[in-house]
A and B are shown apart, each in its own frame.
Chain A
Amino acid sequence: MTEPLVVLDTVSRIHGEGATAVTALDQVSLAIAPGELVAVMGPSGSGKSTLLNVAGGLDRPTSGRVLIEGEDLTTMGGADLARLRRRRMGFVFQDYNLIPSLTAAENVSLPLELDGERISQARRHARHALDLLGLMDLSDRYPDAMSGGQQQRVAIARALVGDRRFVLADEPTGALDSHTGEEVLRVLRERCDAGIAGLLVTHEARHAAWADRVVFLRDGRVVDTTGTDSGVEGLLTTSAGGSR
């Protein structure tokens, strides 16, 4: 088995203190290998977003460790976390992922430019990433001249630009119609097949079907884990994707 890219080691996250304390994550452990797409499912308020935020270093766990390629996020300072976000991982949120004053290509090259790469170099990488996702036509468009699906796909291109190997997506299809949503997930799947690691939060079973593994959360605890071939497909008859 390949070395895992991301490791969550008995991670807990408690919001607030005392009587109003909410345990959003309760001793969660999880490992994601390169080439693997892991989906997180669960009812609202079960801690899905919290899990993703902790895994990406946007939120700090109350206890436990988060390792990315062996580096512990929980002991890192803000500048180092920022560096990781520029070089190692990318986020895709539910909507409005793109910076309105930058074109598609500029949005994609943003992390590289922030990292000090030469503009021409950064642009080349960006075009490459857009090309991989079949979005070359959109390079010079501003976000407000793109559809929601196009915006999400550009956001994925950005999450993957350069050497980034880990994509975190929190309901990336939530604001899209089902067809467009499927298209976005197909792209994500393809990139994972090309060797990156993915963590996808969704509450739609047929989207989860694109994943190699589904983690079920309830009240901040992992209650079940299924591989696609073993459980989910049998569980969900409406699975529309399953293109593998």
Chain B
Amino acid sequence: MTTSQPRSREYAAWRASWGLALRMARRDVRRHRGRSLVVLLMVSLPTALLIFGITANRTLTPSDEVLLPATLGSADALVFPPLTGSEETIVQDGSGSNWLLRGKGRQPIPGYDPEATAADNAGAIGEVLGGRAIPVEDTEARVRLGQRTVPIAALVVDARVGLGPKAVLLSGRWAQTPDEVVVTPQGVRRGLPSTGTLTLLDGSREVTRTIVGTAQGWIDVRMADVVSLGPVGSRSGDPQSGSWLILGSGDITGDRLKALGRYGLPIRSAYLVRHPLTIDELPEELQGATEFGASETRIYTLGGGALLILITGLLVAPAFAVSAARQRRTLALAASNGATTAHLRRTVLGQAVVLGALAAILGAGAGIAAAYAYQQWNEANSEQTLYLPLTVPWTAVLGVTACAVIASIGAALLPARRLDRLDIVGVMKGQNVSRPASRVLPVVGLVLMAGGSALLILGMRRVFDALTVPLGALLLVLGALALIPRALVLIGRLAARLPVALRMAARDAARQRARSGPAVAAVVGGVALLTTILVAVASDTAQSARDYEPFQRSGEGYLGLDPSLDASWQSQTAPLRAVAPQFVINPVHQVTGAMWTEGQAPDRPHVNVQIDGCTPEQAIIDTTFWNSLNSGTSGPASFQPATSPCQLIGDDSPLGRAIKALPAEEIIRRLELTGASADTVRGGGAVVIGTPRAVVNGRLRIVLGAPFEPFEGAEVGQAPTTAPGQPPTPRVERVVSLPAVSIPRTKDSSAQSTGATDVLIAADAVDAARLPHTLLGAVVHDPAGPISEETERAVNEALGARSAFNVERGFVRDDALAIALIVTAFTLILLIVTLTSTALAMAEQQREDAAMAAVGATRSTRRAFAAAQAFVTAIIGTVLGFVVGFVPGYAFTYPLTASSYDFVTGREVIGDPTVVVPWLPLAIAVLGVPLLAALLAAGGVRRAPVLTRRTA
């Protein structure tokens, strides 16, 4: 006899018992369809949600690699022009976007002319890269479509050379001369014709291009409206606006990248995007940021996985506890036929494996399918076609799926753990009482809760990093879970005075903790999470509502206008008049010198209000303040940007407080001025809001400053900068003085003054004083009352894509739907958990039912018992869960809402957190779920033959 024989027999036994376990599990799944479905849903729903989340997220925030088809097509690299006016070399990572100047010593590119266009330099770039350089450019232009002009984005490239997916011809042919263009589906969607001609507006010139085909062409990740061969629009041909796709250069590896850095050429290499440099291979200067990003991603992945295991475990545990408890007789029978503990455990685990694996795979599939559907929907519904292919992060999906299987096996192991102590005699006699509750567990629970709370408090004070709060919350919840058995025992003891149905239910929950415990735990976990989420969401909304600054008076509208459009005020506002002739439409101008007109620096860039106690020069640049800042004596550090007391309103106000002009009557109407104030405005005056020191002796002074003297070495035509350490010299051109009234700032000021405005001047006075100004838009109101939503929609339809008309409706809560969805989802899950547990309790109570019937119990008594069972399980869980969830909810919300914006002072305020407890949705969960569960359980007593079938 060889020694291998007993071994092979052992193995055969092992295999046979797994085979048996899986067979029994499969049959059990089929026989108990309802219960299996519940388990299936409990595992697959969270899995599907999570996988949907990560897939959708990955799809919407695609990696550089995913985007390669759109950004590079079949090219080996995309090369950007070297920074002009710099002699420095660069270090980079090959992504094209992450590069730094390294130091002097740049090598000149032979034949490269920084003043020439991308097309002219293509030869020189191709030479240096060792391939063929195809110039690409993306430009904006305007197209005339009937009466309208539409801005379009053009991809300027010679696509005939074959760029792969970057530019794909759909019909017709590519442009062969600069007079020809190809239109994309995106362009067609925006109203461009797909055949015939296009009329482009180049400044005031009109040019006609022939459409020779349709194609897809990508500008970075956006689909262009047209693909053309030659320059389109006025900014075309600017030396800095082009770049080059490199064909046939071979892989641009790390070494080649380093060499090319000496020419100062930023490069996106297809090879390096696919095979990124490791942290060690990266230039030292770029290592830190990359490292940080990687570890952060790892933390989130780990945290997400842990959370999924926890949630799924909590959800599934009651279902498996049910199945294990229901199987007790089967297991005892198997044991009486010689099954060992390992055999029994396999039987229970078999179910987890069969159901868990099936559910996880189904969930993963559903999640991906949902992400696909979302991507399709998103593509069909977004204005701009973006290159966002469905990107499934397979590693993460596999990980999540594995987590779900692990969670269900873990949930099944919990009840399987006790099988070594399975009391065959007791089970066959029908006994089923939990062992005395552990004495250590509650202590552990309290310690965990204390630790968790401590972490949460620290988290609120922002002592540790972002992980403190989630970790604290986790400990708190785990601690609470550890307290559940003891809580159940206590409640069982306290139940002596309750009516008989509730008393029996409480005792039952206390004595059958193997069954009730997981259900209560799941409810605690669920409600805790729900409470946390709801408190956070509601508080965030409340803070948004508190910080909301209306832009217009309620029910009044604003039409943004494009001053560069050659169309007149009349024609731009015509659609408004057409829809609602009764509208009163007034132009809003900003009094400013800082507006750049096409290619021309402003000649009077500083228009500011002179504050009391400041010189006109200080209104332009406060040299004293500037020096105090630079010498580091500006006082205690604060969160607000340092502001000079002389530069509060105007072009140089760091807070962007503006001077605007409106017709006098409109100012009076909006600010509801009367008497002398109204007369001042009517007489060509101004209103100052919230800054009394801007009005001195009833007059407002506005300082107009000429551009700063260019400092030595600054390039002509560029915005002047200052020499290091030296403030520029202010040059006062003129001071305009206007009669003015000062009114205090109130909560309504923003709406009355069209937002972020501290001075309103009568339009006539602006013209009379020759103050520089630019048209911003039109304020619109209906003398008959608030503008309705239908009218708003009609106006927008009439305006087309040109501009938008918005009517102020106050803060619009957008969280109602989210809250409703969250509460519904959680309510469903909690109901499922509670009812599963109740169904089991009822099924186990059949012997008691007979006894109860013998003492005169009716079906309604049975209903009362079922209702009480469900109610007790649920209410213990929801109340505990609420208490536990409130703390992390508060802790999460505290730092999020502690900083807010004060509309009167315009400053950030710290330490006034908005913590809102959304009582109604929480009450639905905390009280509604137990009541609903009770109702359903009572209703289900009669209609639940499966749950009461007696097949052991």
Contact = CB atoms under 8 A, between A and B. Distances in A.
Interface of A: 49, 53, 56, 58-59, 78-79, 82-87, 90-91, 93, 96-102, 106, 110-111, 113-119, 143-144, 158
Contact of A100 (B9, B424, B951): B951
B85 to A, nearest CB: 81
Contacts of A53: 425
A102 B27 contact: yes
A84 B336 CA distance: 10
9 contacts: A78-B420, A87-B338, A93-B336, A100-B952, A101-B24, A102-B23, A102-B24, A115-B13, A119-B16
Given A96-B952, A116-B9, A116-B16, 19 more contacts: A58-B424, A82-B338, A85-B336, A99-B952, A100-B31, A100-B951, A101-B24, A101-B28, A102-B24, A110-B337, A111-B338, A113-B19, A113-B20, A114-B334, A114-B340, A115-B338, A116-B15, A143-B951, A158-B337
Contacts of B28: 101
B635 to A, nearest CB: 78
Interface in B5-39: 9-10, 12-17, 19-20, 23-24, 27-28, 31
Given A96-B329, A101-B31, A113 B340 contact: no
B340 A79 contact: yes
A86 B330 contact: no
A189 B67 CA distance: 81
Given A59-B425, A100-B951, A114 B338 contact: yes
B238 to A, nearest CB: 77
B723 interface: no
Given A53-B425, A99-B334, A78 B340 contact: yes
A101 B348 CA distance: 13
B24 A113 contact: no
Contacts of B339: 82, 86, 114
A78 B341 contact: yes
Given A100-B330, A116-B12, A82 B425 contact: no
B330 A101 contact: yes
B325 to A, nearest CB: 15
A85 B951 contact: no
Given A53-B425, A59-B425, A101-B24, A86 B338 contact: yes
B330 A90 contact: no
A206 to B, nearest CB: 25
Contacts of A90: 337
B12 A118 contact: yes
A90 B9 CA distance: 22
Interface residues of B, number: 35
Nearest to A170: B428
Contacts of B950: 96
Given A102-B27, A114-B338, A114-B343, A97 B333 contact: yes
Contacts of B10: 116
A101 B341 CA distance: 19
A165 to B, nearest CB: 14
B335 to A, nearest CB: 7
A17 B379 CA distance: 76
A114 B329 contact: no
Contacts of A93: 336, 428
A113 B338 contact: no
Interface in B122-158: none
A36 B15 CA distance: 37
A86 B12 contact: no
Nearest to A56: B336
A140 to B, nearest CB: 13
B13 A91 contact: no
Interface in B329-356: 329-330, 333-341, 343
A84, A85, A111, most chain B CB atoms within 10 A: A85
Interface of B: 9-10, 12-17, 19-20, 23-24, 27-28, 31, 329-330, 333-341, 343, 420, 424-425, 428, 949-952
Contacts of B424: 58
If over half of B's interface residues share one DSSP class (helix, strand or loop), that class is named, otherwise mixed; here it is helix
Contacts of B20: 110, 113-114
B24 A99 contact: yes
B425 A99 contact: no
Nearest first, the 10 closest Cβ-Cβ pairs linking A and B are A116-B13, A86-B338, A85-B338, A101-B27, A96-B952, A100-B951, A116-B12, A82-B340, A91-B336, A111-B337
A104 to B, nearest CB: 14
A244 B545 CA distance: 94
Contacts of B337: 85-86, 90-91, 110-111, 114, 158
A99 B14 CA distance: 20
A137 to B, nearest CB: 21
A6 B680 CA distance: 119
Contacts of B9: 116
B352 to A, nearest CB: 15
Contacts of B12: 116-118
A87 B425 CA distance: 20
Contacts of A58: 336, 424-425
A59 B428 CA distance: 13
B438 to A, nearest CB: 22
A117 B330 CA distance: 21
Nearest to A86: B338
B351 to A, nearest CB: 10
B16 A117 contact: yes
Contacts of B428: 93
A79 B721 CA distance: 88
A155 to B, nearest CB: 9
A116 B13 CA distance: 3
A119 B335 contact: no
A115 B338 CA distance: 8
Contacts of A99: 24, 330, 333-334, 952
Contacts of A49: 425
Contacts of B333: 96-99
Nearest to A103: B27
Contacts of B19: 113, 119
B946 to A, nearest CB: 12
B15, B343, B425, most chain A CB atoms within 10 A: B425
A183 to B, nearest CB: 22
Contacts of A83: 338
A10 to B, nearest CB: 22
A93 B31 CA distance: 24
A47 B558 CA distance: 93
A126 to B, nearest CB: 12
A87 B334 CA distance: 13
A93 B426 CA distance: 12
Contacts of A143: 951
B483 to A, nearest CB: 31
B245 to A, nearest CB: 65
Nearest to B326: A100
A85 B338 CA distance: 4
A117 B338 CA distance: 13
Nearest to B333: A99
A25 to B, nearest CB: 13
A154 to B, nearest CB: 12
A144 B951 contact: yes
B7 to A, nearest CB: 11
